[in-house]
Amino acid sequence: MWGEYEKKWPPAERPTVDRSADPPGSWRGDRDKYLDQAGNHRVEVACDQIAKREREKISPAMRRVEGQDADRHLVGFDYRLKGRERIKDIVCNRIKRLGRSPEQAVSRIPDTIRYTFQYKEEHYARGVTADVTRLKEQGFRLSKLWNAWSGEQYKGINSRWVEPDSGQRFEVQFHTRVSFEAKQLTHKAYERLRTRHPDKFEQMVLEAFQKKVVADVLVPRGAMDIPDYPERGRHAR
């Protein structure tokens, strides 16, 4: 099904970004997103600070939490830092829409650092509940948690946390092996829905693909009973 989609909307048809006339040290993305040399440097410095917090404090704490239960583990750890190109894309949007400074825009991105715990189905509900408590015991503050196990486009639990000393935000997802594989398989469709503003027909095809993949994901016993924080309606991603 995904192959059929790419035949109709091949990646090669998307226009490349012309940077030939841009000053050295500046940055340009698609849809006229642009950072001048000073703005780009400020974002780079902010990203360096995020990487330092991740390396020195947050990831060591996450590894300590991981070591407290042999029935699950962190997956995708090598990709825990969001790519700088994507960060700059978000920063440009927030500067334009909200009047943020580059530093403010970076600081408000909730998933510049992200982790995923993967559980066996039979241990999922107990494991997630225990790990939320363990993260709090490491000193992290829970900002949001939303349970998307009832979703048609995505299944799993996502949460957002704050490291209180620096105010650094990060994301933790809670998956089974199958729900994580479904997330990985549908990621391209999700990204295209989020960034390409597809027409109604393309949107329908992308959503149908996600729904077909997610339909085969088994909901672990007790997963639906894990509450959102703060209490609110459930939604995907």
Give the pLDDT of the chain (237 residues) as one tens digit per residue. Answer: 666 656 666 665 556 778 889 999 999 998 889 999 999 999 999 999 999 999 999 999 999 999 999 999 999 999 999 999 999 999 999 999 999 999 999 999 999 999 999 999 999 999 999 999 999 999 999 999 999 999 999 999 999 999 999 999 999 999 999 999 999 988 888 777 776 666 788 888 888 888 899 999 999 999 999 999 998 654 444
Separation in Å, CA 22 to CA 64, 94, 113:
45, 21, 30
Helix (H, G, I), strand (E, B) or coil at 69: coil
- Distance, CA of 196 to chain centre: 17
Tell me the sheet residues that pair with 117: 74, 174
Q: Over the chain, what is the mean pLDDT?
A: 91
Check whether domain 2-225 has CATH 3.30.460.10, yes or no: yes
Task: Give the whole-angstrom CA distance, residue 113 versus residue 170.
Answer: 5
Specify the residue for token string 């849809």: 31
End-to-end CA distance of the chain: 22
Predicted confidence at residue 234, as pLDDT, reads: 46
Per-residue b or e along 60-99, where b marks 16 or more CB atoms closer than 10 Å to that residue's CB: ebbeebbeebeebebbeeeebbbebeebbbbbbebbeeee
Q: Dump pLDDT digits (tens) for 110-134.
A: 999 999 999 999 999 999 999 999 9
Specify the residue for token string 């407290």: 68
Predicted confidence at residue 31, as pLDDT, reads: 80
**Cβ partners under 8 Å of residue 138, min gap 6:** 61, 64, 65
Element holding 118 (H helix, E strand): strand 114-119
Q: What's the one-letter identity of residue 232?
A: R
Task: Give the whole-angstrom CA distance, residue 30 versus residue 188.
Answer: 17
Peptide bond into 24 cis (omega under 30): no
Domains of the chain, residue spans: 2-225
Predicted confidence at residue 18, as pLDDT, reads: 82
Most distant CA atoms of the chain, gap in Å: 57
Task: Give the whole-angstrom CA distance, residue 123 versus residue 69.
Answer: 11
Lookup: tokens for 198: 């597809």
Q: What is the pTM for the complete model shown?
A: 0.88
In the DSSP assignment, the letter for residue 19 is -
